[in-house]
């Protein structure tokens, strides 16, 4: 699950980067362009925040999965120890 969240965060991050680049070029300032500069910057910042939150979710998901794997391994080792004696 963590890997999927990383991919989603990267995709949204690229879209945020595109929005940021469009806000600093003359494309957004031409008459008839889709929106003004403030709209592109706001959308870029919003997408960046969303991407960072999703990346944080991916990190936390990976940490929880790792903790669950380690606890399962510890339980299996504890079960095997009495049999070894």
SS3 71: helix
SS3 8: helix
Sequential pLDDT tens for the chain (85 residues): 778 999 999 999 999 999 999 888 877 667 776 667 788 899 999 999 999 999 999 999 999 999 999 999 999 988 887 665 5
Q: Is the pTM of this model over 0.85?
A: no
> Which are the contacts of 55, defined by CB distance < 8 A and separation ≥ 6?
5, 6, 9, 13
Neighbours of 51 (CB within 10 A): 20
Which residue from 41, 16, 69 is spatially nearest to 8, judged by alpha carbons? 16
User: Between vectors from CA 54 to CA 48 and to CA 55, what angle results, nearest 5°?
Assistant: 90
SS3 30: coil
């Amino acid at each position: 699950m963590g890997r999927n969240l990383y991919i989603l965060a990267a995709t949204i991050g690229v879209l945020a980067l595109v929005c940021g680049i469009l806000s600093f070029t003359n494309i957004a300032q031409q008459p008839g362009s889709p929106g003004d500069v403030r709209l592109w910057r706001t959308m870029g910042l919003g997408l960046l925040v969303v991407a960072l939150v999703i990346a944080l979710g991916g990190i936390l998901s990976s940490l929880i999965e790792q903790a669950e794997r380690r606890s399962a391994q510890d339980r299996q080792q504890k079960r095997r120890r009495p049999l070894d004696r």
